[in-house]
Amino acid sequence: MPLANSDIRTFWWLAFAALLLALLYALSPVLMPFFLAAILGYICQPLVLWLGRHRVPRVVAVLVVMLLEFVLLALVVLTVLPLFIKEISLLMQQLPGFLDWLNRTLAPWLLAHAGVAVSFDAESLKEILNRSIQGSEGLGMRLLNSLRIGGLGLVGLIANLVLVPVVQFFLMRDWELILERAARLVPRRWHEQTAQFVKEADDALGQYLHGQVLVILVMSVFYTVGLWLTGLTFFLPIGLITGVLVFVPYVGAATGFVLGSLAALMQFQSWNGVIWVWIVFGLGQALEGNLITPKLVGERIGLHPIAVIFALLAFGQLFGLVGLLLALPASAVLLVALRKLRAAYVTSSLYSDPK
DSSP 233: T
Among candidates 266, 212, 276, 207, which has minimal Cα distance to 243? 212
pLDDT at 91: 67
User: Model confidence over 18-44: pLDDT tens digits?
Assistant: 887 777 777 766 777 787 788 788 888
90: pLDDT strictly greater than 80 = no
Dihedral (CA of 252, 254, 255, 260) sign: positive
Among candidates 308, 326, 324, which has minimal Cα distance to 316? 324
Cα–Cα distances in angstroms (integers) from residue 53 to residues 48, 95, 199, 224, in the given order: 9, 57, 22, 38
pLDDT at 68: 92
Under 8 Å between Cβ of 179 and 51: no
Residue type, 101: W
User: Model confidence over 242-268: pLDDT tens digits?
Assistant: 888 887 766 778 888 888 888 887 777
* pTM metric for this prediction: 0.62
pLDDT at 121: 63
281: pLDDT strictly greater than 80 = yes
Helix 58-113 and helix 251-268: axis angle, to 10°?
A: 50
Contacts of 208 (CB under 8 A, 6+ apart): 297, 301, 328, 329, 332
128: pLDDT strictly greater than 70 = no
